[in-house]
Amino acid sequence: MNLLVNGDFSQPDVGGWWGTFDSIPGWTPVPDASVGNVVNPIEIGTATIYGVTGFGTQITELDSIANDAMAQSITLPAGTYTLSLQYALRAGVAQDSGTFSVQWNGIDWDFHPTSSTATTWTETVTGAGNLNTLVLEGTGLSDSYGAIIGNVSLVPEPTTVVAGAMLLLPFGMSTLRMFRKSRTA
């Protein structure tokens, strides 16, 4: 159950081509620190155009017309979550042009892709119990070619109960009480 909206960048459907957008479902362009906090549009494209392999049909390039950053904010119950994404370097692009960062509630990870084949990155993150923000930011040489990102996913870890799983709460709570009873007995 991916809690993110449009984590696979399937919307808008660019029909085998690509485009740049001032907003897309789930994601909002935000200031990119590497280009003086300018807000640049989001680029959505068909993966094969970029010479990358191992992705879904569509990806984002974090260097649209220049380096760009995009954010998605999500309200979550407090708990732990698995954040994952796929990344690669656009084929034929120098490595110093394809670096990027991922930020979750202000925690920052920096990436230096070296291959045009998708690599999957997975990290356990903490949900703040209210509004959480994920940012993807292009950080390399700003030249309209760079880091390719796909299939961004946020999934609750088994100890974290969200959304549909809440329907099971009455059963879960009674089970918990039984455990507590047996522990104190």
32: which residues sit within 8 A by CB, 6+ positions away? 38, 39, 40, 66, 67, 68, 69, 137, 138
Compute CA distances 178 → 80, 160, 168, 169, 181, whole Å.
Answer: 25, 20, 16, 14, 5
Which lies closer to Ca ion via its Cβ, residue 110 or residue 143?
143
Q: Please pick, from the candidates 140, 149, 151, 152, the single residue that binds Ca ion as defined by CB under 5 A.
A: 140
Which x/- pattern over 53-92 shows residues binding Ca ion (rule: CB under 5 A)? --------x-xx----------------------------
* Distance in Å, CB of 172 to Ca ion, minimum: 47
CB of 65 to Ca ion, least distance (A): 7
Q: In terms of CB distance, is 104 or 145 closer to Ca ion?
A: 145
Write out the binding residues for Ca ion, residues 95-134 only, by CB under 5 A: 97
Least separation in angstroms between CB 51 and Ca ion: 13
CA distances from 165 to 4, 7, 150, 162, 183 (A): 17, 21, 27, 6, 25
